């Protein structure tokens, strides 16, 4: 026990400390990536550099006094500047504490997808949306047009508008981001499907037969929402029912990922 205690106090506790700090910084970077907070942090870093130069090298007393007073109230200033980001982070932690901290993915895109599916169903807009799981879909992503944008229902509706040059094919969502549109998917070779389903549904089933992807379809003719998974097609899904099903599948994938990492 003495040896283990010495090992913990001298080495392991420091490694744990460094690892946790690095992980928290990484999560913070993911949170502010692509927001105005990045520019604010760059400005703060520049101001910190100026402070060091003015105080330690140039020794300008008046300017040093002003900068020191600024840094004294910096915590309040940062809280005001980063109010939207902090509010979003606290809301995420309150909704799903463990999932939000441990898993890089965010499940908020499910709400955006379901909202787009509901409106597309009402307006008879055909849709084909692929949610990547464990099986990589890089081959199919490369057949489309790169987007790499945040998943929003407005973007999905715009992409699948019949006047959009990208409305044919599928959009692929990878790790919560819409990575590509107008992607070509393999059609199912099941002979019975060709008689009753169109190209979108056959493509959805075809991809689900060879991968673990979840493929969502809205029929342009009927507005019916369907989910292809494991080579099977569920038709006539209610948007709220679909939201619950996707959320549960996402949580199950999170739990499996955690179990694999523990092993």
Q: Do 68 and 127 lie in a common domain?
A: no
Which domain covers residue 185, as residue numbers? 109-262
End position of a domain, from candidates 61, 77, 102: 102
Mean pLDDT calculated for residue range 3-19: 76
End position of a domain, from candidates 86, 102, 118: 102
Instruction: Kindly indicate the confidence band of residue 45, based on its pLDDT and cuts at 50, 70 and 90.
Output: confident
pLDDT reported for residue 104: 41
Phi, psi of 128 (to 5 degrees): -145, 105
Count of domains observed in the chain: 2
Q: Do 71 and 113 lie in a common domain?
A: no
Residue 224 near residue 125, CB atoms below 8 Å = no
Q: Do 195 and 224 lie in a common domain?
A: yes
Q: Do 139 and 204 lie in a common domain?
A: yes
pLDDT tens readout for residues 123-149: 999 999 999 988 889 899 999 999 999
Mean pLDDT calculated for residue range 243-253: 83
Q: Do 223 and 97 lie in a common domain?
A: no
Q: The domain that contains 255 carries what CATH number?
A: 3.40.1700.10
pLDDT averaged over every residue in the chain: 82
Q: Do 123 and 234 lie in a common domain?
A: yes
Q: Which of 139, 150, 129, 133 is nearest to 225 (CA)?
A: 129
d(CA 181, CA 148): 9
Answer whether residue 170 shows pLDDT above 70.
yes
Q: Do 91 and 133 lie in a common domain?
A: no
pLDDT tens readout for residues 82-91: 666 666 556 5
Q: Do 135 and 43 lie in a common domain?
A: no
């Amino acid at each position: 026990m003495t040896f283990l205690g010495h090992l913990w106090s001298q080495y392991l506790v420091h490694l744990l400390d460094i690892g946790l700090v690095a992980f928290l910084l990484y999560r913070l970077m993911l949170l502010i990536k692509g927001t105005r907070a990045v520019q604010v942090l760059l400005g703060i870093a520049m101001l910190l550099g100026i402070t060091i130069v003015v105080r330690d090298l140039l020794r300008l007393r008046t300017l040093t006094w002003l900068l020191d007073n600024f840094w004294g109230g910096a915590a309040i200033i940062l809280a005001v500047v980063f109010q939207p980001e902090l509010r979003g982070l606290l809301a995420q932690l309150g909704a799903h504490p463990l999932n939000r901290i441990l898993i890089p993915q965010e499940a908020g895109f499910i709400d955006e997808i379901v909202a787009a599916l509901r409106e597309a169903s009402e307006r008879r807009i055909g849709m084909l949306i692929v949610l990547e799981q464990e099986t990589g879909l890089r081959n199919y992503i490369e057949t489309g047009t790169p987007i790499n944008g945040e998943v929003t229902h407005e973007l999905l509706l715009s992409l699948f508008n019949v006047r959009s040059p990208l409305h044919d094919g599928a959009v692929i969502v990878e790790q919560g981001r819409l990575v590509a549109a107008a992607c070509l998917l393999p059609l199912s070779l099941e002979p019975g499907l060709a008689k009753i389903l169109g190209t979108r549904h056959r493509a959805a089933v075809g991809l689900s037969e060879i991968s673990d992807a979840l493929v969502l379809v809205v029929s342009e003719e009927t507005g019916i929402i369907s989910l292809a998974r494991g080579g099977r097609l569920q038709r006539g899904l209610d948007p709220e029912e679909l939201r619950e099903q996707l959320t549960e599948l996402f949580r199950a994938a999170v739990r499996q990922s955690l179990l694999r990492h523990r092993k």
